[in-house]
Chains A and B, each alone.
Chain A
Amino acid sequence: MRILLVEDDAEVGRFVKKGLQEAGHTVEHVPNGREGLFMAASENFDLLVLDRMLPGGIDGVRLVETLRGQGNHTPVLFLSALAGVDERVKGLKAGGDDYLVKPFAFAELLARCEALGRRPAVDAPATRLKIADLELDLLSRTVTRGGKRIDVQPREFRLLEHLMRHAGQVVTRTMLLEKVWDYHFDPQTNVIDVHVSRLRQKLDKGFDKPLIHTVRNAGYMIRAEP
């Protein structure tokens, strides 16, 4: 992916740029909103990673508003030290697609970047999702593995659907809480882990090849190869 990073803090900028590059992305880093807007408007990027508070008169929110006003719909991820809930709402209202509060784990940032950047432009009207021998029928809401039907609860179905839509990508626990449960809160303990491990047990029972993999210090990933 080609990513534009607009971040005024040199150390955070360097860290994020290096990490994203190591993950195989091309990163342009500019330190202020004016240059960021110029770059974003004149070149093609797959994703913008913006600090919310930027020097140079144009902050992250203004930048996105301007871009959206010009009909530019490049996905935007906000990075911000402003953790208040209304700050998050402000960022998303302005046209941001995701909001990550500093300090963050790099794995979380990477997972969110990849989820945003590889998001299909138009949701393909898929009715079936398939990974190896696991099949998800979105119309009849059934799960089969190797032709054998697996009973899952509605929430487990949504969890599996989300993982399969992002097959091959890391999905973090917070992302699952936000996307599958639709809440923004701190669950204190890793309640999500329990749900994932339950689902995993159901899927892997009687099969020797696990499909849902735990990615250390990051989250989960569904993929065919071990």
Chain B
Amino acid sequence: MSPPPHPRPDLAPHPRPDMPHAVPLAAATRRRGQHPGPLWQLLSSAGFRFALLFAALFLLAGLAFTGVLWWGTAGALDRQIDAAIRADAMALAERWRDAGDQAVADAIGERLALDAENQTLYLLSAPSGQRLAGNLEALPQGFAPDVQWYGMSLERDGIPGEARLFVLPLPDGSRLAVGRDVEEKLRLRALLTEGLAWSAGVALLFAFAGAALLRRALERRLAPVTATAALIAGGDLSPRVPLSGREDEFEALGHSMNTMLDRIAHLMEGVRGVSDAIAHDLRTPIARARNRLEEALANADDPAALHSALERGIADLDNVTRVFQAVLRIAEVEAGARRAAFAPVDLVPLLEDAAELYGATAEENGQTLRTEWPAALPLTGDRDLLLQALANLLDNAVKFTPDGGSILLKAELLEDAIVVRVSDQGPGLSLEDRERVGERFFRADSSRNTPGSGLGLSLVRAVVQLHGGTLWFDEGHGESLDKPGLAVCFRLPLA
């Protein structure tokens, strides 16, 4: 055994007079129940996280849009300027090849003269670095022979500006530099950046507002479900999720939750019913057995009385076992575990066997068992359970039909199902009793003095349901008004 991680409070050297457990417990409760803070609350909300996801997607789309816009405007301007510079440089280089330094210097002079806005930069330098022509003093700082493009800052009339410069080496070692003032372009770019920043800010604002709205909407739609669940967790099984009738996902959630709750409530009722019934129907035979054994003990001097009391006690216990077995069997069938053992089976031999088994008893009572079914009734199912169901129905019919009466066992093959009908001439069942029969241990008042556990029809119903079928009740073929008879019918689907 490992030692306990903390010393137990009752082993502490100086137990405090106030309850030692209360302090840490209360602290823990407070910690757990502590308000987690608005930010944490916001972040832990699924609605907020959904909204955040959408905001992120929104921003991503905005970013893509901005990128394309940038490439199409500022980028295009850049490329245009570069192309103009390059074309100008190439034209001048061509001229130099045709006519030499002086012609280029003339051309530069001409161009500078035409450039009223003072936007262009030119430099023709000799291999020695000496300036031959142009308005630029020297090659840009950090000049390297293998780099063609330069950005440079310059000051003109006291105004600082930006320029872009292209340096073209000429075959004799002299260099030609052509440039443009790009101040105008930079202004445009700044304007564009500012506009985009503003719109991004507004978009972010919209994204957050949308997130908050979405979160609120989700919370509002989920609130009834949460509230219902909380009530049920509190122990009251009756509330159901109110439905809005909008036929959306939340409606579907509420609907399936209600279906689940109905099923749970039904099962709970079943359990309660079983425990009530066990209390009633098992207590009685157990009590009887106990009384008999006690009596036997008291009458131990009379061997004959002792013997018979013990025998009857054992019979009572056997009855208890039987009821118990039936309850377990019903539970087993209802759980559907036996569907794994389904096999193709013909109902006709089962009907024949059941009729033969119970026909003898009926004959003994002076009753006649009339039968009617086609040559074959093939289906997929559990042979023993189906026979058990038929046996229970015939057993009831034999029990309730008066001596000399008749019992009808009939089966027919429909297009997609088999319908079996067991009809008797007994007292029948009132409409209210028909509702309740099939509940475990239910016994109509008229049958209180007939032997039986009240489980027979429950088992039949469970077996029929296991086979995907339905069970219903009908008037039998009784001949008098006070004995209309009962017909128990079930329908087993073929597929």
Contacts and interface: CB of A to CB of B under 8 A. Distances in A.
Interface of A: 83-86, 89, 101, 103, 105, 155, 181, 183-189, 191, 194-195, 198, 217
A183 B391 CA distance: 11
22 contacts: A84-B332, A85-B332, A86-B338, A89-B341, A101-B325, A103-B321, A181-B357, A183-B387, A186-B326, A186-B388, A187-B357, A189-B361, A189-B398, A189-B399, A191-B358, A191-B361, A191-B391, A195-B357, A195-B360, A198-B360, A217-B311, A217-B314
Contacts of B451: 189
B384 A188 contact: no
B380 interface: no
A155 B456 CA distance: 26
B356 interface: yes
A222 to B, nearest CB: 19
B341 A188 contact: no
Given A105-B314, A188-B395, 17 more contacts: A83-B325, A84-B332, A86-B338, A86-B340, A86-B341, A183-B387, A185-B391, A186-B322, A186-B326, A188-B456, A189-B399, A191-B358, A191-B361, A191-B391, A191-B395, A195-B360, A217-B314
Q: Does more than half of chain A's interface fall in helix, strand or loop, or is it mixed?
A: loop
A26 to B, nearest CB: 27
B452 interface: yes
Interface in B68-113: none
A194 B311 contact: no
B364 A194 contact: yes
A199 to B, nearest CB: 10
Contacts of B174: none
Residue of A85, A105, A217 contacting most chain B CB atoms (<10 Å): A85
Contacts, number: 64
B262 interface: no
Interface in B295-320: 311, 314, 317-318
Given A89-B341, A194-B364, A188 B325 contact: no
B144 interface: no
A66 to B, nearest CB: 26
B409 to A, nearest CB: 15
A62 B399 CA distance: 45
Interface string B317-341: 1100110011011001000011011
A83 B332 CA distance: 10
Contacts of B372: none
Interface string B347-377: 0000001001110110010000000000000
A186 B452 CA distance: 12
Contact of B337 (A86, A103, A184, A188): A86
A191 B456 CA distance: 16
Nearest to A189: B395
A185 B322 CA distance: 11
B252 to A, nearest CB: 37
A187 B364 CA distance: 17
B384 A105 contact: no
A15 B373 CA distance: 49
A185 B387 contact: yes
Interface of B: 311, 314, 317-318, 321-322, 325-326, 328-329, 332, 337-338, 340-341, 353, 356-358, 360-361, 364, 383-385, 387-388, 391-392, 395, 398-399, 451-452, 456
Given A84-B332, A86-B340, A217-B311, A191 B357 contact: yes
A188 B364 contact: no
A124 B270 CA distance: 54
Closest 8 A/B residue pairs (Cβ):
A185-B388, A194-B360, A188-B395, A194-B361, A191-B357, A184-B384, A183-B387, A195-B360
A187 B360 contact: no
B353 A183 contact: yes
B291 to A, nearest CB: 20
A29 B341 CA distance: 35
A195 B364 CA distance: 10
Contacts of A189: 361, 395, 398-399, 451
Nearest to A177: B357
Contact of B452 (A103, A184, A188, A195): A188
Contacts of A101: 325
B311, B328, B357 — which one has the most chain A CB atoms within 10 A of its CB?
A: B357
B329 to A, nearest CB: 8
Contacts of B452: 188
Contacts of B383: 183
Nearest to A194: B360
Nearest to B383: A183
A85 B399 CA distance: 28
A198 B452 CA distance: 24
B28 to A, nearest CB: 42
Nearest to B396: A188
B312 to A, nearest CB: 11
A189 B456 CA distance: 12
B456 A185 contact: no
A85 B392 contact: no
A83 B395 contact: no
B450 to A, nearest CB: 11
A181 B341 contact: no
A86 B383 CA distance: 13
Nearest to A198: B360
A89 B332 CA distance: 15
Nearest to B361: A194
A184 B361 CA distance: 19
Contacts of A183: 353, 383-384, 387
A184 B383 CA distance: 9
Nearest to B390: A185
A85 B357 contact: no
Nearest to B452: A188
